[in-house]
Structure 1
Amino acid sequence: MGETSRRLPVTLAPRTDELLSSWIGRHAEFYAVPPLAMLRHCLPEASSLRAADLDLNEDQVFRLARMFSADQTMVHRMTFANIAQSSRRLIAKEPVQSCSRCHPAKHDPRPVLRSQLFGWRITCTLCGCLLRHSGRHDRQLLSAATMGLLS
């Protein structure tokens, strides 16, 4: 496939552990376009942001890195490529938890971290604080974590 578009004139630095779709979404907000339109500007064949988080080939990583003037290794690290295919069904579609220290409510737009989609996480990968879980399982998870049942 030939070169279809040029590099973006303004790019935003990714946050530590940020998910690729979140980073693309922040760019989309900056440029006032829908996130999927931003992704398809780079990868016309892309079916969804979730698919980009889960399955990118090396050519697609190269093209995204070029478009966003980023390092290919960094783009690759923002995906779930290091998660076994059999475990990917355990990755949430939306954040199931957050850290009040690393992601205070005043951040807008709030970047989504890869670790926020791992329901099995109990502590923040960045600061080590207990995560706040959304939904009704908060008390059960906190109780299990404090009793040493989860690690």
Structure 2
Amino acid sequence: MNVKPLPFRPPPARDELLSSWIGRLAKANHCSVEELCGYLGLGQGRVPERINDPGEMDWARLCSAVQRTRNEIAAMTLPDTVHHAVRYVSRHDFQYCPGCTEQTPGLALRHWRFAWSMTCETCGQSLAAKHPAEAVSDRLLARAARGAQVWETAVASNDLRRLRRMDLTLSIVSILGVGNSASVISMNELERLMALAAVGVGMTRPLLGAAIMLRGNGQVVRELRRVFPQHRRVIERVRGLSRDLDQQLTGLRETGHPTGQETHGMSRPNASESALRAARQAISELGHDANRQALLARADAIWTRSSGVKS
């Protein structure tokens, strides 16, 4: 049965989420969202958001009331992610565009719910987290942006191999205690950026990144063996790489400088710690996808400068 069209029907914004538009329709018609949902035949005051949610709704009633076609309304919902290995669409507004929401209060766009979205496609402004971090480095933002781009490409092309690797990367992040599988859609800005950065590393230099994180942490290595028994060979390879990292840096140092030289009273254990710090700084400067020899050479230069060794 058709119903009369709503008296006031502000048009939906480009890429607006259905729940956002229903909320604005309720405000324009001076009623609550629950009352409007009842009138539109949505039932129980719940606005459907995913494309597989509206199955029970009265389409004829809804389309007549809002003067929109079924396809137009369905296009305002979120994609079905049930069959995907990784969760990349949030069920909640974890971020927003300050400019767009100031211009249109209550607005929520579909792409703001996607894990890889970092800028507003409408105005180009950076999206803001619900719980922003006090300070975020440009380096972390750049790495997170690379991870977001990789994620969007993998989903768009339905690259199952890459999606499985992302799932594995986020599982490792969870085991390390720095996040969980849903961190990429977290309201906490720092947690989300770190998760996206980890995804980027996992797609480019997964072994080197894991080696830095796992060095000296036997408990995490044991936990990885337990959770991922099918990847035991890879875990052992990463473990070996993390142990070899300092030895490689020390070898470069000893090749460039006589073994009898001392570094202002530094003992060998302290030199080893200094070498690790140099390795981390080199990776931070050059990126995880840099050439391995370039990383080692840069780390040796940093180690030499910081320890005061003279050639």
**Closer, same or farther: CA 136–10 of 1 in aligned 2, 3 Å:** closer
TM, length-normalised to structure 1? 0.75
**Closer, same or farther: CA 131–13 of 1 in aligned 2, 3 Å:** same
Tell me the equivalent position of 1:116: 112
Q: Say whether the 8 Å CA contact 2:94–2:129 is kept in structure 1.
A: yes
Tell me the equivalent position of 1:41: 39
* Structure with bigger gyration radius: 2
Residue number among 59, 81, 84 corresponding to 2:81 in the alignment? 84
Tell me the equivalent position of 2:127: 131
Q: Say whether the 8 Å CA contact 1:61–1:75 is kept in structure 2.
A: no
Q: Say whether the 8 Å CA contact 1:53–1:79 is kept in structure 2.
A: yes
2:66 corresponds to 1:68: yes
Q: Say whether the 8 Å CA contact 2:16–2:108 is kept in structure 1.
A: yes
What are structure 2's unaligned runs of at least 5 residues? 150-311
Task: Report the Cα offset of residue 142 of structure 1.
Answer: 6.6
TM, length-normalised to structure 2? 0.40
What are structure 1's unaligned runs of at least 5 residues? none
Please give the alpha-carbon distance, in whole angstroms, between the structure 2 residues aligned to 1:141 and 1:65.
48
Q: Percent identity?
A: 23
Tell me the equivalent position of 2:12: 14
Deviations 1:22-58 (A, max 9, x none): 1111111111211121111111534512xx1120128
Q: How many positions carry a matched residue from both structures?
A: 144
Residue number among 120, 125, 146 corresponding to 2:142 in the alignment? 146
- Higher RCO structure, 1 or 2 (CA under 8 Å, sep 6+): 1
Question: Alignment RMSD, CA only?
Answer: 3.0
**Closer, same or farther: CA 64–139 of 1 in aligned 2, 3 Å:** farther
